[in-house]
Structure 1
Amino acid sequence: MPDLLAQVLDAGRRYGDAPALTGPAGRTLSYADLFRRITATADRLRGKGFRTGDRMLFSVRPGPEAVVLALGAVAAGGTVVFIDPGSGPELFASRLDLARPAWAAAESLLYAASAPGPGRALARRRGVLLPDYSSLPVRHVRSGPWLPGVPLRAVSAKALAKPAEPGADWSPAPDQDAVVVFTAGTTSDPKAVVHTRGSLGAALEVLATRCALAPGARVHTDQFLLGLPSLVAGAHWTMPRFGFSPTADLSSVASGLSEATHTFFVPADLAALLDAAERGEVALPGSLRQVWLGAAPVLPPLLRRAEAALPGAEFLAIYGMTEILPIAVATAAEKLAHDGDLLGKPLPGVRARVADDGELLVSGPNMCRGYLGQPPLAEHATGDLARIENGSIVLVGRKKDMILRGKTNVYPGLYEPSIAALPGVEGAAMIGVPDEIGDERIVLVVAGTRPGLAELVRAELPRLIDAAALPDEVVVVPELPVSGRTRKLDRDALREMVAG
């Protein structure tokens, strides 16, 4: 059975001095360096009391130190827990209560910005409400130099990773919980996906069946689940300095891709880069052989533009979700030749079927164990409506009201009750309005007649909802449209109203 950790450590032994990982600052670790640092981190964590089954709250930006620390914690028998510190105090607290971490790893700047004092005040003025990491009742690991606000006894991630000979037996343990990722849920019912070393290892193997990775390839991405397959394959993983964001310096993004053979884009970010290239502001790389697209619908207009701009690259639209990734892959040629939204054939080992109500149900070795605190999953209900056509999955629509913006899934039901409780607001609804590339603009519609209501609501939003869910526009209407005998909110009518 595949095992994520065993696959990475085996690659460290096999590829030795070949470059493995180059971080945003340009520092490169060889495969041998990576192996030694991961195993040293695991040994030292154990020496400091880290126990099998311990969970580590993880808030470190992508980079070599983050990769080493996360894999080192897993190698020590632990589970890495990803919780967005900007999710809002109540939601963060409920997620923390469910995860019950024994350790926390965070950047020194995050400790400084969240501790009482000038840093926290500055963060609040910018609309970011951070939990006080230094007061969490856990053992602490800091990434970066000591700063005011960092607990005095916090362990240095750099010191943990100081190369040493491994002193433990790194035998496979595919059933071990490796990662917890919070995806949805309310303060009263948080929801977290639990992946094992085995399910993540299977995900890497499944992805490798369609992604041509091998020694000599250069994979440029900040995505762990696309960078890790490159490490297993002996390729060179490089990380962008400022991330792939439409607000990033696009010239830096383009220069980072200058020698890349493989990369990943959210459709909105690729569109921003193509726009800049068409304006003559950046030069597109000629080295790209494969471009992976995902996290949002990949539509024909974007694919046609991308193929025209990068004729030497193959474009792969990857369909998956946190619970099971990947599920299917379709090439640009396959998608453009199909009348519907073709997702592709289920990848090897992945099983897909359509329920009586049209919802797509999937399972496979790369599926998560289940949700934290709940029974294991046998099958995952995707929330997507689909049909199986000649063995391929064709997307019909979305059963759930989730909004896709960039790399973020926004669940309106998490935020609408709090917004509706604001003074002067008689009702609130968040909707996604698709643009021409498949990304969605978030529009918050509030019902009420109070003068200046839109401005009042906008000023209150940073303390109520996740920063990633802040709407692009706030619209005030006299009342929200409803339908049926139950007077249920009619989101389709609301979407038409806003579009009009």
Structure 2
Amino acid sequence: MTLVRQLLDQAARTPDGIALVSGDGSLLTYGELRRRVLAVRHGLLSEGLRTGDGVLFSVRPSPESLVLALGVVAAGGVVVFADPGAGPEMFTARLRLARPRWSAAESILYAGSRVGLVRAYARRRGLLLPNLAELQIPGEPPMRHIHAGRRLPGVPRGSLSLADLVRGDAPEPPEDTDPDAPAAVIFTSGTTADPRAVVHSHASLAAALGLFRDRMPLGPGDVVHTDQLLLGLPTLISGARWSMPPLFCPPADFVRLMRERAATHAFCVPVHLAEILDTAPELPSTLQYVLLGAAPAPAGILKRAVKATSAEVLSVYAMTEILPVAIASAEEKLAHTVSGAEGDLLGAPLPGVGTRLADDGELLLSGPNLCRGYLGAEPFDELPTGDLARLDEGRLILMGRNKDMLIRGKFNLYPGLYEPSIAAQPGVEEAAIVGVPHPETGDEEVVLAVTGPAGLPARLRRDLPSVIDHDALPDRIVVLDELPRSGRTRKLDRDLLRERVARREGTAR
């Protein structure tokens, strides 16, 4: 059964229950959520949305974005998450690959990409927005538009209003859609020449949500505090209440809302939890589970979390391509660390997740929650993770990264995807990206080391936003006389390079 069908069925069983509390405190019942999703589905189909149509999605987390995304998927469309803040060049590259027929965006984004004063303000805030109103795929019919929020200057003529769609008819849907059909496309990394996007099917997303629910029981009476769609959806499917914090919620307000709404579950990335614990050494007593994900959870943060709450603190190992993979408790991870054992304990693979180690120790994953593959490429049945691992009595132990992957917040950065494009820039002789781990947050400072003239950092700061993914832009750029190499093949010695940039050698900016 697909996730949309599960949600609609749950909403039909508990129409009067509160499904969602938004950032401003407004309430949405299950019955009203169901009606709105079906109304959007019917309206889009009436306007010509076809099965498999991609809908470029640029709506920030909110009740409106939830309704719109679910309505698109219920109508047989594919939600394409392509961040317009990535910059016009990267956005255009992603557009060429995804070839969506529809665009859904907030009115302010349309205005920010076209109207002079608003566009200038966005540029001052560091947002180089593409012209969403004039998006066009060569050889395709004119793109259709949907806007969320009141119509503003810059919204294309003929754009459908989400408010009008929600007020429309809401007939019952037909039988469930094909579970193997694509439901979502998530761009994860890449350059303007080679963007990469993960394609999830209805079935893989439903399997992922089921694994979260099995490990972290949810049901009526539970309140899950998160802005993450893939944790909010299992909440709704379970009949629990989704507490959605406002955008850019300060840590103190995040904790205050957890207390006011009697949250039983909360999700944070480790660096966010560290900021929360700085403001609130004790977490609300109503919490039963604190879920950490998107980056490794350092022992220091786990110790602080265990001290701050009686809730079970869980750390999730997952990738965009397959989520979740394994979940370990803070106690298990800390016991592994205290024992002096090598590596980072990830926990036992969740039911149905297949694990295999390649000859070089790289972890290969499979299972019903594995994506269909990458957009524009052949499907795969097994994912090479780039992580080195070992198995110890059925538990996964992370030993390192085969592909030198760096972790920045919720973004996995693979240096090899970006270094060739950087090295091709004028004046750059060689380029290498390494990470310097932060001992407390688990995040990494991304350092770009280049060889070439001393003036390179300023030029690269100016030019790289139009060349590589904005999440891959370096925190620091250093110019070295040469990149360190070792062995008979003179292979780049990333460990030595990491030591040098940690000591802040070279000309930096």
TM-score (ref. length: structure 1) = 0.93
Match of 1:17 in 2: 16
Change (3 A) 1:86 1:488: farther
Match of 1:261 in 2: 264
1:418-457 map, 5 Å: 418-437=421-440, 438-450=442-454, 452-457=455-460
Match of 1:26 in 2: 25
Q: Structure 2 unaligned segments of length 5 or more: list them.
A: 137-142, 504-509
Q: Aligned partners of 1:78, 1:387: CA distance in 2, in Å?
A: 40
Deviates more, 1:164-173 or 1:474-483: 164-173
Match of 2:61 in 1: 62
Match of 1:369 in 2: 372
Match of 2:384 in 1: 381
- C-alpha displacement of 1:228: 0.4
- C-alpha displacement of 1:421: 4.4
- C-alpha displacement of 1:38: 0.5
Change (3 A) 1:35 1:170: farther
Q: Aligned partners of 1:146, 1:482: CA distance in 2, in Å?
A: 57
Change (3 A) 1:480 1:123: farther
Match of 1:334 in 2: 332
Q: Is the 8 A contact 1:88 1:464 kept in 2?
A: no
Q: Is the 8 A contact 1:269 1:406 kept in 2?
A: no
1:137-216 map, 5 Å: 137=136, 138-162=143-167, 164-216=169-221
- C-alpha displacement of 1:232: 0.6
Match of 1:323 in 2: 321
Q: Aligned partners of 1:25, 1:121: CA distance in 2, in Å?
A: 28
The match for 1:236 among 241, 244, 255 is: 241
List per-residue Cα deviations over 1:53-112 (Å, max 9, x = no partner).
111000100111101100100111111011121223333222211211010101111111
Q: Secondary structure at the match of 2:271?
A: helix
Q: Secondary structure at the match of 1:416?
A: helix
Q: Aligned partners of 1:419, 1:375: CA distance in 2, in Å?
A: 28
Change (3 A) 1:407 1:429: same
1:283-294 map, 5 Å: 284-294=283-293
Q: Is the 8 A contact 1:250 1:273 kept in 2?
A: yes
- C-alpha displacement of 1:460: 3.9
Q: Aligned partners of 1:440, 1:59: CA distance in 2, in Å?
A: 28
What amino acid is aligned across from residue 178 of structure 1 in structure 2?
Answer: A
Q: Secondary structure at the match of 2:85?
A: coil
Q: Is the 8 A contact 2:362 2:387 kept in 1?
A: yes
Q: Structure 1 unaligned segments of length 5 or more: list them.
A: none
Change (3 A) 1:162 1:66: same
What amino acid is aligned across from residue 312 of structure 2 in structure 1?
Answer: E
- C-alpha displacement of 1:410: 2.3
Q: Is the 8 A contact 1:129 1:463 kept in 2?
A: no
Match of 2:312 in 1: 314
Change (3 A) 1:382 1:418: closer
Q: Secondary structure at the match of 1:377?
A: coil
- C-alpha displacement of 1:380: 1.0
What amino acid is aligned across from residue 443 of structure 2 in structure 1?
Answer: D
RMSD: 1.9
Change (3 A) 1:128 1:219: same
Q: Aligned partners of 1:375, 1:413: CA distance in 2, in Å?
A: 21
Q: Aligned partners of 1:125, 1:476: CA distance in 2, in Å?
A: 28
Seq. identity, %: 56
Change (3 A) 1:456 1:376: closer
Change (3 A) 1:179 1:253: same
Q: Secondary structure at the match of 2:274?
A: helix
Q: Aligned partners of 2:17, 2:449: CA distance in 1, in Å?
A: 54
Match of 2:412 in 1: 409
Q: Is the 8 A contact 2:447 2:478 kept in 1?
A: yes
Q: Secondary structure at the match of 1:471?
A: coil
Q: Secondary structure at the match of 2:376?
A: coil
Q: Aligned partners of 1:31, 1:171: CA distance in 2, in Å?
A: 20
Deviates more, 1:82-91 or 1:466-475: 466-475
What amino acid is aligned across from residue 184 of structure 1 in structure 2?
Answer: S
- C-alpha displacement of 1:453: 4.2
Deviates more, 1:213-222 or 1:335-344: 335-344
Q: Is the 8 A contact 1:319 1:327 kept in 2?
A: yes
- C-alpha displacement of 1:370: 1.5
Q: Is the 8 A contact 1:219 1:260 kept in 2?
A: yes
Q: Is the 8 A contact 1:428 1:447 kept in 2?
A: yes
Does residue 349 (structure 1) correspond to residue 352 (structure 2)? The answer is yes
Match of 2:140 in 1: none
Q: Is the 8 A contact 2:76 2:177 kept in 1?
A: no
Q: Is the 8 A contact 2:224 2:241 kept in 1?
A: yes
Q: Is the 8 A contact 1:75 1:170 kept in 2?
A: no
Does residue 94 (structure 1) correspond to residue 93 (structure 2)? The answer is yes
Q: Aligned partners of 2:168, 2:109: CA distance in 1, in Å?
A: 26
List per-residue Cα deviations over 1:265-304 (Å, max 9, x = no partner).
11111111112235xxxx6322211011111111222111
Q: Secondary structure at the match of 1:337?
A: helix
- C-alpha displacement of 1:350: 1.0
Q: Aligned partners of 1:50, 1:424: CA distance in 2, in Å?
A: 48
- C-alpha displacement of 1:442: 1.3
List per-residue Cα deviations over 1:135-179 (Å, max 9, x = no partner).
013100001111111102111112111264324314243122110
TM-score (ref. length: structure 2) = 0.91
Q: Aligned partners of 1:489, 1:123: CA distance in 2, in Å?
A: 40
- C-alpha displacement of 1:422: 4.5
List per-residue Cα deviations over 1:354-390 (Å, max 9, x = no partner).
1111011111111111122222211111111101110
Q: Is the 8 A contact 2:43 2:169 kept in 1?
A: no
Deviates more, 1:386-395 or 1:485-494: 485-494
Match of 1:480 in 2: 483
